[in-house]
Amino acid sequence: MASVGLATGCYAGLEPGQGEGADELGTDGSEVGSDAGESGESDESSDGDAGTEAGEPEPGIYADGIAVDRVEINQAVGIDLGMGGQAIAEGSRVAPVIAGRPGLVRASWSIDAGFEPRMIQARLILTADEGTTSYVLERYVGAAPGPNDWGSFDGVFTWELDADAITGSTAITVELLEDDGSRAGADASEGARFPATGGLDLAAIDGPMTVKVMIVPATDPNVDSTPITISDAFLDELRVNLYNFYPVRDVELQVHEPLLLNACYDGPSVMAQLSALRNAEGLGDEWYYHAIVGNSNESYCNTGGYSWLLEDEFPGNDRVSFSINHWGESPNNWTHELGHCHGRPHTWEDGTYQPAAADGPDCGRRTTWGYALLPGPHPKANEWDFPALQDLDDWLVPPTEGLGLSGYCLGHSDYDTWGPALNDMMSYAYPYWISAYTYRELAERVAIVSSYGSPAPGGGGDLGAAAEGDPRSLNLVFTADGSVHQYVSRGWPKGLQSGGELGLRVELRGATQSESRALKFAPKRGPEGEIRGLVIPLGEHGPNAWSAGELEIEGALTGSQADAPTTHRLVIEG
- Binding residues (CB under 5 A) for Zn ion: these are 10
Please, what is the minimum distance in Å from the beta carbon of residue 487 to Zn ion? 24
Please, what is the minimum distance in Å from the beta carbon of residue 427 to Zn ion? 9
3-state secondary structure of 355: coil
Query: 173 or 332, CB closer to Zn ion?
Result: 332
Query: 303 or 473, CB closer to Zn ion?
Result: 303
> Contact at 8 Å (CB) between 508 and 549?
yes
Query: 10 or 264, CB closer to Zn ion?
Result: 10
E strand residue ranges, 225-338: 250-255, 259-260, 287-293, 305-310, 320-324
Query: 10 or 522, CB closer to Zn ion?
Result: 10
CA separation for the pair 538, 20 (Å, rounded): 52
Please, what is the minimum distance in Å from the beta carbon of residue 335 to Zn ion? 11
Please choose, from the candidates 111, 135, 108, 118, the residue with its C-alpha nearest in 3D space to the C-alpha of residue 182: 118
Please, what is the minimum distance in Å from the beta carbon of residue 411 to Zn ion? 17
Other CB atoms within 10 A of residue 295 CB? 20
Query: 345 or 493, CB closer to Zn ion?
Result: 345
Please, what is the minimum distance in Å from the beta carbon of residue 389 to Zn ion? 22
Gyration radius of the chain over CA positions = 25
CA separation for the pair 323, 304 (Å, rounded): 6
Please, what is the minimum distance in Å from the beta carbon of residue 409 to Zn ion? 12
Query: 6 or 562, CB closer to Zn ion?
Result: 6
3-state secondary structure of 280: helix
Query: 10 or 392, CB closer to Zn ion?
Result: 10
279 Ramachandran zone, left/alpha/beta (phi>0; psi -120 to 50): alpha
Query: 10 or 107, CB closer to Zn ion?
Result: 10
8 CB-near residues (< 8 Å, 6+ apart): 306, 307, 308, 309, 340, 345, 346
Using the 8-state DSSP alphabet, how is residue 62 labeled? Answer: B
Query: 127 or 321, CB closer to Zn ion?
Result: 321
Query: 11 or 140, CB closer to Zn ion?
Result: 11
- Say how far residue 409 (Cα) sits from the centre of its chain: 23
Residue nearest to Zn ion according to CB distances in the complex: 10
> Contact at 8 Å (CB) between 211 and 288?
yes
Please choose, from the candidates 510, 489, 492, the residue with its C-alpha nearest in 3D space to the C-alpha of residue 571: 510
Please, what is the minimum distance in Å from the beta carbon of residue 348 to Zn ion? 11
CA separation for the pair 463, 455 (Å, rounded): 9
Please, what is the minimum distance in Å from the beta carbon of residue 10 to Zn ion? 3
Please, what is the minimum distance in Å from the beta carbon of residue 259 to Zn ion? 22
3-state secondary structure of 267: helix
Please, what is the minimum distance in Å from the beta carbon of residue 421 to Zn ion? 19
Question: 102 — phi, psi (to 5°)?
Answer: -60, 170
CA separation for the pair 71, 198 (Å, rounded): 15
Query: 213 or 551, CB closer to Zn ion?
Result: 213
Please, what is the minimum distance in Å from the beta carbon of residue 292 to Zn ion? 16
447 CB-near residues (< 8 Å, 6+ apart): 205, 207, 209, 475, 487, 488, 489
Dihedral (Cα; 254, 260, 265, 266), 10-degree rounding: -80
